[in-house]
Chain A
């Protein structure tokens, strides 16, 4: 579903991604971990069609980027650490806007369905300005789910969430994964990432330095591996 080959990204003379190879199979939940500055957000932005790679190939749901970017976007749902919402509009107005942007016909029923799914049905008429960070994040996920994308990308979704909100997000993510979608999530929260995912990837120094199935090891073992991989070569 998500494929990257020799993906390279430079910002001027600075090399951020140095030939990333990535494969995410349909229905997999992959957690992308790594230290700050490793290039996780850059990688995610490229996969989300928001940025272009300098070199290399990327495919989302079979569509090659950047040529077929528009078609790929129909299959993608993206949740960034910024909510991407309009604070002067209500929850349902935000969703209605995106439903139109994604070309959905008869969207009212779908609006209600996603609001229910993220537990915001009661607040649908309230302005997003009045939402807490956790609620905004949930609405952002609702937005990403509207057009029933096959692939979902989450960039540090837990940023700024308190304990209760984070648990609720856990639930939503499990729900999303259970419905067979392909998910790639970047996070700083190693334990959470490990708990939710089928597979973990470690991005360090611009390349995928390690890949492992979560079923094959315990959390402690993984944490040690993480430390080792990240601290390699100073």
Chain B
């Protein structure tokens, strides 16, 4: 991506994130039962959404890499995992911050939380796999395969744990009668929620683009080094 476009994207991201933050803290009403801490929810879910999106991107780029052998797909997939992991961790930590005053515990083994934790483990394994392989072509291939396997396993993991137990607040409808901590959103909250999702998506694209540029420059340096050393 040319430098000028990248700078525009950076500025756009900065702007939209500022607006989102403003909305979360000043526009959205205070939740009746949970109080101020509920505002974490907007960032928490948005971060979780980005985690999922990032790993989905890795799934797609993995398939594309296997079909085309173009290492650019592999690079995007790997960088997406990096970003996805960061956001998943934000998701877990923000969830903890939210949970403490509400459920009086830092951690619970409920389906969503557990699934995200396992998701983190899968993609940490992905990174460890990459670091353990030297041949770049094999590394890209194996990473693509594991990215595909990992992503497919996650819904199954989620269902397996969900059939098992649940106390996580159910935002997007489930008829599960045992779920505690229901939450109903006013229009203002809903607006903030959607806006935060969009803002985070833009943030994701921005981070990915920047990181991609960085990685491409690093590769150029490597190539130049090799050229000089072998001349």
Contacts and interface: CB of A to CB of B under 8 A. Distances in A.
Query: A–B direct touch, CB within 8 Å, in complex?
Result: yes
Interface of A: 11-14
A11 B137 CA distance: 7
A120 to B, nearest CB: 36
Contacts of B222: 13
Given A11-B135, A12-B136, 4 more contacts: A11-B137, A12-B137, A13-B136, A14-B226
B134 to A, nearest CB: 8
A13 B226 contact: yes
B223 interface: yes
B137 A13 contact: no
A12 B74 CA distance: 13
Question: Which of A11, A12, A14 has its CB near the most chain B CB atoms (within 10 A)?
Answer: A12
10 contacts: A11-B135, A11-B136, A11-B137, A12-B135, A12-B136, A12-B137, A13-B136, A13-B222, A13-B226, A14-B226
Nearest to A54: B137
Contacts of B136: 11-13
Nearest to A51: B137
Interface in B197-231: 222-223, 226
A11 B135 CA distance: 6
A13 B223 contact: yes
Contacts of A14: 226
Nearest to B226: A13
Nearest to A10: B137
A63 to B, nearest CB: 21
Nearest to B227: A13
B1 to A, nearest CB: 23
A16 to B, nearest CB: 12
A11 B134 CA distance: 10
Contacts of B223: 13
A184 to B, nearest CB: 25
Contacts of B137: 11-12
Interface in B132-150: 135-137
Contacts of A11: 135-137
A32 B5 CA distance: 53
A12 B137 CA distance: 7
Nearest to B134: A12
B219 to A, nearest CB: 9
A13 B223 CA distance: 7
A43 to B, nearest CB: 17
A12 B140 CA distance: 11
Nearest to B135: A11
Closest 3 CB pairs between A and B? A12-B136, A13-B226, A11-B135
A216 to B, nearest CB: 35
B231 to A, nearest CB: 13
Contacts of A13: 136, 222-223, 226
Contacts of A12: 135-137
B230 to A, nearest CB: 9
B227 to A, nearest CB: 10
A14 B134 CA distance: 12
B71 to A, nearest CB: 10
A13 B230 CA distance: 12
A13 to B, nearest CB: 5
A100 B135 CA distance: 33
A54 B196 CA distance: 45
A182 to B, nearest CB: 30
A11 B222 CA distance: 14
B74 to A, nearest CB: 12
